[in-house]
Amino acid sequence: MRITEGQLRRIIREEILREDALGPRGAKLRRISFEVKRRTDFIEVDALLQGRGRIGHISSSRQDDPCAGAWVIDVSQSKLDGLGPLLYDLMIDLVHPHPLMSDRVEVSDDARRVWDYYNERRPDVDSIQLDDLKNTLTPVDVDNCEQSSAQIWGEDELGDEDRWPRSPLSKAYKRRDGRTPTLDELQAIGIIKFI
């Protein structure tokens, strides 16, 4: 079996993401803690170095469109390699039992790689296919959601914006078993605080 240059690049990006990802215990070793602000319609998480300087942030909010009840990532940023995937895992746990999805309009290359990794390489995470606002995939409205970022992905990666359902950005994600392992471990080792 031969692989294309594009497939090889994707494999390399995924391996780099997997190897660089920081887990809860690695965060503790690096003296990183987390502050969570949780409200009815939004959640914000700050990653703090030695309890002071913010080195990462992620926020999500309830979506206006049905989107199968998914919460949407509003902002994510990290100053430390490997922290981004940990912030996404934590947010998936914090929005539980709802699924989590990417920004509906614009997604950075780093965030795209995280969503692609969830879609392709995470057996503990289920993907939920979302429809567009025109009911292209299903006749029901409960899964309707803005798909601009997925259409842009389709155009960039596949040369055709109509292939958006193949994009990891066209889906929402949640833990397969309903557990919240990242949140649980951060609480167990005492490096997360709700404010």
Q: At what angle do helices 83-94 and 109-121 cross, to 10 degrees?
A: 60
151/92: higher pLDDT? 92
How confident is the model at residue 65, as a pLDDT? 86
How many domains in the chain? 1
How confident is the model at residue 63, as a pLDDT? 87
Residue 174 phi/psi, 5-degree rounding, is -150, 160
Instruction: Calculate the alpha carbon distances from 157 to 101, 108, 160, 185 in Å.
Output: 19, 14, 8, 36
Q: Is the pLDDT of residue 164 over 70?
A: yes
How confident is the model at residue 19, as a pLDDT? 45
How confident is the model at residue 73, as a pLDDT? 97
How confident is the model at residue 16, as a pLDDT? 47
Q: Is the pLDDT of residue 174 over 60?
A: yes
Look up tokens 């292939």; give the residue.
163
Mean pLDDT calculated for residue range 36-61:
96
Give yes or no for a contact between 34 and 192, defined as CB atoms under 8 angstroms apart. Answer: yes
Give yes or no for a contact between 57 and 73, defined as CB atoms under 8 angstroms apart. Answer: no
Q: At what angle do helices 5-20 and 109-121 cross, to 10 degrees?
A: 90
How confident is the model at residue 12, as a pLDDT? 55
How confident is the model at residue 52, as a pLDDT? 84
Mean pLDDT calculated for residue range 33-55:
95
In the sheet with 192-194, reading across from the earlier edge strand, the strands are: 125-129, 171-175, 100-101, 71-78, 53-62, 42-49, 32-38, 192-194
Q: Which domain holds residue 89?
A: 5-194
Tell me the pLDDT of the chain averaged across its residues: 90
d(C-alpha 33, C-alpha 48), whole Å: 5
First to last CA, the chain: 53
- E-strand ranges in 9-134 read 32-38, 42-49, 53-62, 71-78, 100-101, 125-129
**How many C-beta neighbours within 10 Å does residue 180 have?**
19
